[in-house]
Amino acid sequence: MPSEEKKVQLSIVVPFYNEEPNIDYLFERLISVLKPLEMTYEIICINDGSKDNTLKLLVEYHQRNSLIKVVNFSRNFGKEIAITAGIDYTVGDAVIPIDADLQDPPELIVEMIAKWREGYDVVYATRRSRQGESWIKKFTAQRFY
């Protein structure tokens, strides 16, 4: 009788596009947040057609840590498509998308999981500040979110 794998409780979905400089710091912060949660997790990384060494680094992380999974796009399809593909690939009971550029602090995951454990079906966060973004990005984000 084959041994049963533990059911994944949490899936983190991260779209990547030319994020080579951020990858080490992202995983350092993400894993430091996820380990103490005492739940099974996976990190789904979607390489959205990056032209730098993003894919190479993601594959290296996957080889060192099987909880990190990589989906590679042949070209850039955009953040929304990458997130959707990542969500389709997940097996966790809860799914949290997060940006690779760390504009959304991984430390918020702790609070989101706490609310989920209280019984909420949907937990979301919104940015309080959009510093450093162009006026058009701020305008479209305000309308979209």
Angle (CA) 73-58-24 rounded to 5° is: 135
- pLDDT for position 28: 97
132 touches 121 (CB < 8 A): no
Determine the pLDDT at residue 2.
Answer: 43
Is the dihedral angle over the CA atoms 95, 101, 104, 110 positive or is it negative?
positive
Give burial (CB, 10 Å; 0-12/13-18/19+) of 7.
exposed
Q: Could you tell me the pTM of the whole model? A: 0.85
pLDDT beneath 70: ranges in the chain: 1-5, 128-145
Instruction: Please state the domain extents for the chain.
Output: 10-144
- What dotted CATH number matches 10-144? 3.90.550.10
Q: What is the pLDDT of residue 113?
A: 96
pLDDT for 119-139, tens place per residue? 999 998 877 665 655 655 555
